[in-house]
């Protein structure tokens, strides 16, 4: 006989496979719909400018989609390890599983997948999220996980990120994610502004807005990278140690920032060195650019308006 007659005192619930982030999926679908809409009208653009518009619009959509999508990605700081570890509290049972830690701007995801998935008469496939964004209480979510009786590896990693943990990971990652998210939203606003300005007869300001977009994107990268100077607490799971490193979202955002700086610098350089080539790339006429530079005054006249003729005083006589 064992305590509770062999039944563990946990809240039973069906486990589901790790799913895809719904906000991230929505962002991807929105930008794919915009790209598909542009491709439908692309055959209506004549000449070689069709390919210039294709590259220009798709690059712009990629930059905007990436800046928004990384807010909802958990792959900024990623670590995975295969280990043999205890499964749940009050039990000596052990499982062989792959444990993953994914840190994002708004929280962490902890995955636990058995190898094989079916062990101990149970499907071991967990994906638990703990968030620290606005109006979310990480400590309350951790307490709720304790009540659910989640597996030991999940609770162990989640406990390391609690506000009361001596590791201090919560404050470091929460602060870094907050500043990175804020600067990326500013970069998104400048991306919108750059698209508007590049469609005007003054592309120089569009290039400057694109440079600012790249600068704020890199500021977000540096804000999150500031946590790298803080040593991570040793995360021991059974006989293995989990080590984390920068993930795909971090590197893609870094590449996007560099791309914005390159494109913005190219627009500014062409504006001063070869303005005709810039007009060709942006499909603008020389008259529009000359008006933007102030080369010729803009004269507005009404052809229907006729000035009143003054009377001829020679033929005016006065009879007294």
Quick check: 13 pLDDT over 60?
Answer: no
Q: Count the Cβ atoms, other than its own, within 10 Å of residue 272.
A: 9
Q: How far apart are CA 224 and CA 176, in angstroms?
A: 5
Q: How far apart are CA 289 and CA 309, in angstroms?
A: 39
Q: How confident is the model at residue 258 (pLDDT cuts 50, 70, 90)?
A: very high
- Between residues 250 and 233, which one has the greater pLDDT? 250
pLDDT at 296: 44
pLDDT at 284: 55
Task: Please report, for residues 21, 114, 128, 159, 191, the alpha-carbon distance to residue 120 in angstroms, rounded to integers and kept in the order given.
Answer: 29, 10, 20, 25, 52
Range from 144-153, 189-198, 248-257 carrying the lowest mean pLDDT: 144-153
Quick check: 24 pLDDT over 50?
Answer: yes
pLDDT at 70: 92
Q: How far apart are CA 257 and CA 279, in angstroms?
A: 25
80-117 per-position pLDDT tens digit? 999 888 888 777 788 888 999 999 888 889 999 888 88
200-227 per-position pLDDT tens digit? 887 889 899 999 999 999 999 998 888 7
pLDDT at 173: 87
| Rg value, the chain, Cα | 31
pLDDT at 298: 43
Under 8 Å CB-to-CB from 192, ≥6 apart: which residues? 64
pLDDT at 42: 81
The domain spans of the chain are 77-167
pLDDT at 283: 63
Q: How far apart are CA 139 and CA 134, in angstroms?
A: 13
Give me the phi and psi of 47, to 5 degrees please. 75, -165
Dihedral sign, Cα of residue 213, residue 215, residue 218, residue 224: negative
Q: How confident is the model at residue 20 (pLDDT cuts 50, 70, 90)?
A: low
Range from 75-84, 93-102, 311-320 carrying the lowest mean pLDDT: 311-320
- Between residues 67 and 310, which one has the greater pLDDT? 67
Helix 275-282 with 286-293: angle, nearest 10 deg:
120
Q: Count the Cβ atoms, other than its own, within 10 Å of residue 279.
A: 18
pLDDT at 229: 64
Helix 152-160 with 138-148: angle, nearest 10 deg:
160
Find, among 90, 134, 154, 135, the residue nearest to 144 by Cα: 154
Quick check: 309 pLDDT over 50?
Answer: no
Q: How confident is the model at residue 242 (pLDDT cuts 50, 70, 90)?
A: confident
- Between residues 14 and 166, which one has the greater pLDDT? 166
Q: How far apart are CA 45 and CA 50, in angstroms?
A: 5
165-183 per-position pLDDT tens digit? 888 888 888 888 889 999 9
- Give the rounded percent of residues in the chain with a pLDDT score beyond 90: 22
Q: How confident is the model at residue 145 (pLDDT cuts 50, 70, 90)?
A: confident
Contacts 24+ apart (CB under 8 A), 131-135: 131/106, 131/107, 132/106, 132/107, 132/170, 132/173, 132/174, 132/177, 133/106, 133/107
Sheet hosting strand 122-131, strand order edge to edge: 122-131, 107-119, 94-103, 77-86, 244-246
Q: What is the mean pLDDT of the chain?
A: 80
Residue with tokens 């590449």: 255
pLDDT at 219: 94
What single-letter DSSP state applies at residue 227? Answer: G
Torsion angle, CA of 265/267/270/275, rounded to 10 degrees? -160
- Give the rounded percent of residues in the chain with a pLDDT score beyond 70: 79
Find, among 143, 140, 139, 227, the residue nearest to 177 by Cα: 227
Q: Count the Cβ atoms, other than its own, within 10 Å of residue 95.
A: 22
35-58 per-position pLDDT tens digit? 898 888 888 777 777 788 888 889
pLDDT at 231: 66
């Amino acid at each position: 006989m064992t305590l509770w007659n062999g039944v563990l005192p946990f809240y039973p619930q069906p486990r589901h496979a790790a799913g895809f982030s719904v906000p991230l999926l929505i962002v991807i679908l929105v930008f794919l719909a915009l790209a598909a809409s542009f491709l439908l009208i692309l055959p209506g653009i004549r000449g070689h400018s069709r390919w210039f518009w294709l590259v220009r619009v798709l690059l712009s959509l990629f930059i905007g989609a990436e800046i928004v999508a990384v807010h909802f990605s958990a792959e900024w700081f990623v670590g995975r390890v295969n280990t043999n570890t205890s499964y749940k509290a009050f039990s000596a049972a052990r499982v062989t599983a792959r444990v993953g830690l994914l840190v994002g701007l708004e929280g962490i995801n902890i995955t636990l997948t058995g190898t094989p998935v079916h062990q101990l008469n149970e499907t071991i496939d967990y994906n638990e999220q703990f968030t620290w964004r606005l109006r979310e209480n990480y400590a309350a979510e951790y307490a709720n996980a304790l009540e659910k009786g989640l597996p030991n590896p999940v609770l162990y990693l989640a406990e390391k990120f609690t506000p009361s943990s001596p590791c201090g990971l919560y404050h470091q990652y929460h602060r870094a994610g907050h500043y990175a998210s804020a600067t990326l939203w500013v970069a998104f606003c400048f991306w919108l502004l750059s698209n508007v300005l590049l469609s005007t007869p003054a592309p120089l300001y569009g290039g400057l807005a694109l440079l600012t977009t790249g600068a704020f994107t890199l500021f977000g990268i540096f804000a999150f990278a500031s946590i790298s100077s803080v040593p991570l607490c040793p995360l021991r799971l059974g006989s293995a140690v989990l080590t984390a490193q920068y993930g795909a979202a971090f590197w893609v955002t870094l590449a996007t920032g560099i791309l914005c700086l390159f494109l913005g610098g190219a627009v500014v350089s062409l504006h001063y060195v070869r303005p005709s080539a810039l007009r060709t790339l942006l499909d603008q006429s020389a008259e529009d650019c000359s008006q933007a530079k102030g080369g010729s005054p803009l004269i507005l006249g009404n052809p229907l308006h006729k000035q009143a003729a003054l009377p001829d005083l020679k033929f005016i006589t006065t009879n007294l």
